Structure 1
Amino acid sequence: MEQPAFSAFETTPPPTAHRAFDRRMLPVYAALGVAWVVLIIAMPLTGLSVDAVLVGAFLAVCGLCGWGASCLRLRGWVRIATAIESWALLNLACLTGILATCVAARSNAPFLDGWMDAADRFILPGLNWRDTVLAIGRHSALMHHATQVYASLQWQGSLLILLCCATGRIERCPRFILSWTIALGLISAVFVFTPCVGAFAHYGIGHDVVPSVGASTGWSDLLMALRTHDTLRLDPSALDGIVEFPSFHTAGAILLAWGFWAIRGARWPMLALNLAMIAATVPIGGHYYIDVVAGAIVAWVAIKAPDWIVSLRAR
């Protein structure tokens, strides 16, 4: 039986040494292409604009990376080509996801923090969010390390791509980036209907109350600006996460742990790091407990979705 191109059990990549384009990257390009068409239409309709020079320069760099990867692949340097192309696509997916959440924030849906609070009390009736976070916040050393772990989402993807290409597991790169892109798309879509101001704001906890929290994502001025300004010009270099439900840090941690699992020497240390990142989403990111559960569901769907698509096409 012929093995599907995106089988979760694929271990040996098809020969691509003399091809300019790796066909396994096609779904990634297709997903990002659709996302940018939607953004180009939706942003003017919602009163949003971006620094065209900055975005254009970023897209140009990504394009140059793709062209350079094609040249290297034709010369047989498949691993280096995959690393460069994957790194560019990963960063493009992140920018696309951030802009998509900004568009989603323009919806008129009411904030659902009360519902999230109720959900937390239902799934963990004996654990008070406010008291728990304030108790953890008193340990400045613990919070400092938790902040560093929380911020590791920014570099783990690049490390994963580097290790996959260095160890010859290049088939993991397109699969990981596609799942990452799907997760960002799902979270942006859900965010349209489930906006939240965040647990810190909901419980009345200012940054001065928990100064040991090193991240500012729990108090997002950008979200309120997106909800109140008729028009807004976005600076992509200054954008940050604004989504509470589902938690992308949770989804990202699971996707990264799944990606690193293919690399024998890195699987256990990176699993520990990403479990710590999930734990840090509550005291550092200001996420409700239900956000973590929803983020885990998003990650599961994003990992399984490519196989489902292949299965449907086969039928």
Structure 2
Amino acid sequence: MGRLPCFYFGMSASRNRFIVVVIAAAALFAVADLLMLSHSWVEVDPSGFIILAKTLALVTAIYGLGWIVTFRLRSDRSRLALGMKRYSESLKTLSQALALFLPLSFLDCLFMYLATATNKPLVDSNIAAIDSALGFDWLAVVQALNSSPIMASILMFAYTAIGLLMIGLLFLLALSSETDALMEFIALIAVSSAFTGFLMMAFPTAGAYAFYAPPHDAYSNFTGMGGLTHLQTLGALRSGSPFVFHINKVVGLVSFPSFHCALGIIMTYSCRRTYWLLVPVGVLVTIMIPATIPEGGHHLADAIAGILIGLASIGIVSAVSTRRRPAATLVTEG
């Protein structure tokens, strides 16, 4: 059987499996959040649930709009109608993915804050020891990269662009003729988020900037924002003082492993069927990964762990989505 047309309106078995993966990851975070909240000094601002509910209502309205257009034009075979139905189906696909992605992100961010609110000792010295064993001198590398303003600008651009690229990829995959591509991407994010969250809880770190405390001259051509902006929040969470979690004020707190690297790997993989997109995304990710060291403030081991998480997530989601082929039957003539 050939490839399904881009106007196929059904729900494939693979997409159903991707949905199950996302729901399972969200449920895992929800259970962990509830258990941790019961003995944490972190409280949740109730307005966050209102924001989530309003956003999901908007997503539902978008889905409804797509459904209405598809229904009204169901018998129209004109070129204009087919085009409108195609984009309506894309709207429905995008809204379905966002309906899963948004609650997952909320629960994941809350977990990240709850996991950071601990008095467990930081293990940056152990992570730095791994770098040293690999022959990697973090400060020397940062200084070398900082010596070229042009190189620093390129690395900073790649590091900051990855977030915008992820948003753009959501829309591009929704428009793709591969009907399962977007839901596969959300499933990959779900699995990599689960890996990242529970590893950061097991191995709390503050990041390379906090550990090495380099002079500003060592990274003057970088902002270092990825490795510095979270330190105030991290300190507040680890202080034991009451802390209120606001979903609209979330900052990234994960140093080990690097979620930037994991996300880069799965984004590149998700573009594998779209060659005109694969090359620029692959180039950007290739530049972004080393940028996580001077701009993101990651140890080398953080980046390696993030890459491995991305690859492991691809393996798991690929295994889940693989359909068993029915056993061949032998036909004989009577």
Q: Deviations over 1:148-184 (max 9, x none)?
A: 2111232222221222222312311111101101111
1:17 partner amino acid = F
What letter corresponds to residue 144 of structure 2 in structure 1? A
Counterpart Cα distance in 1 of 2:323 and 2:238: 39
Give the corresponding residue for 2:160: 151
1:300 aligns with 2:294: no
User: How far did residue 73 of structure 1 move?
Assistant: 4.2
Name 1:177's counterpart in structure 2. 186
Structure 1 residues 143 and 176 mapped into 2: Cα distance closer, same or farther (>3 Å)?
same
Report whether the alignment pairs 1:79 with 2:63. Answer: no
- 1:175-196, Cα deviation, whole Å (9 max, x unpaired): 1101101111111101112111
Task: Let me know the Cα RMSD of the aligned residues.
Answer: 2.9
The aligned counterpart of 2:9 is 17
Identity over aligned pairs, percent: 21
Equivalent positions of 1:191-210 (< 5 A) are 191-205=200-214, 209-210=218-219
C-alpha distance after superposition, 1:45-65 (max 9, x if no partner): 212123221342123312431
Task: Give secondary structure in 1 for the equivalent of 2:219.
Answer: coil
1:112 lines up with 2:106 in the alignment: no
Does the 8 Å CA contact 1:200/1:206 hold for their aligned counterparts? Answer: no
**Which residue number in structure 2 is paired with residue 224 of structure 1?**
235
2:29 aligns with one of 21, 32, 35: 35
CA distance in 2, matches of 1:268, 1:303: 19
CA distance in 1, matches of 2:304, 2:259: 11
- Tell me, yes or no, if the aligned pair for 1:12 and 1:171 is still in contact at 8 Å: no
CA contact (8 A) 1:82 1:165 kept: yes
Q: 1:91 to 1:284 in 2, by over 3 A?
A: farther
What CA distance in whole angstroms lies between the structure 2 residues aligned with 1:79 and 1:187? 30
Q: CA deviation at 1:282?
A: 0.6
Residues 222-262 of structure 1: per-residue CA shift (max 9 Å, x gap): 11111113320122222211111111011010011111222
Tell whether 2:241 aligns with 1:249. Answer: no
Normalized against structure 1, the TM-score is what? Answer: 0.84
Q: Does structure 2 conserve the Cα–Cα contact (< 8 Å) formed by 1:69 and 1:81? A: yes
Give the structure with higher Rg (CA).
Answer: 2
Instruction: Encode CA deviations 1:1-41: one digit per residue, 9 max, x unaligned.
Output: xx9xxxxxx9648986267xx74534323432442343244
For residue 85 of structure 1, report the CA deviation from its aligned partner.
2.9
SS at match of 2:202: coil
The answer on 1:262 being equivalent to 2:256 is no
1:7 is aligned to: none
Query: How far is the alpha carbon of 1:218 from its aligned partner?
Result: 0.8
Q: Is 1:57 aligned to 2:51, yes or no? A: yes
Map 1:282-293 → 2, pairs under 5 A: 282-293=293-304
Indicate how the Cα distance of structure 1 residues 145 and 178 shifts in structure 2: closer, same or farther if over 3 A, else same. same
Q: Is residue 109–residue 193 contact of structure 1 (8 Å, CA) maintained in 2?
A: no
Amino acid at match of 1:39: D
Question: Take 2:38 and 2:323, find their aligned partners in 1: how far apart are those partners?
Answer: 35
Which residue does the alignment assign to 1:121?
A: 132
| Deviation for aligned residue 1:215 | 4.4
Q: How far off its partner does 1:277 sit?
A: 1.0
Q: CA contact under 8 A between 2:117 and 2:240: conserved in structure 1?
A: no
Instruction: Name the structure 1 match of 2:113.
Output: 102
CA distance in 1, matches of 2:22, 2:67: 18
Q: 1:178 to 1:206 in 2, by over 3 A?
A: farther
**Which whole-Å CA distance do the structure 2 matches of 1:280 and 1:194 have between them?**
22
The offset of 1:133, in angstroms, is 0.4
How far is 1:270 from its partner? 0.6
Contact residue 16 and residue 73 of structure 1 kept, 8 A? no
Q: 1:114 to 1:270 in 2, by over 3 A?
A: same
Change (3 A) 1:175 1:153: same
Q: Give, in angstroms, the shift of residue 305 of structure 1.
A: 1.5
Shift of 1:104: 1.1
Distance in structure 1 (CA, Å) of the matches to 2:37 and 2:250: 15
Deviation at 1:288, TM superposition (A): 0.7
Instruction: Confirm whether residue 279 of structure 1 aligns to residue 290 of structure 2.
Output: yes
Cα distance in 2 for residues equivalent to 1:264 and 1:312: 25
Aligned partners of 1:212 and 1:291: how far apart in 2? 22
Give the residue type in structure 2 aligned to 1:243: V
Instruction: Return the offset for 1:313.
Output: 10
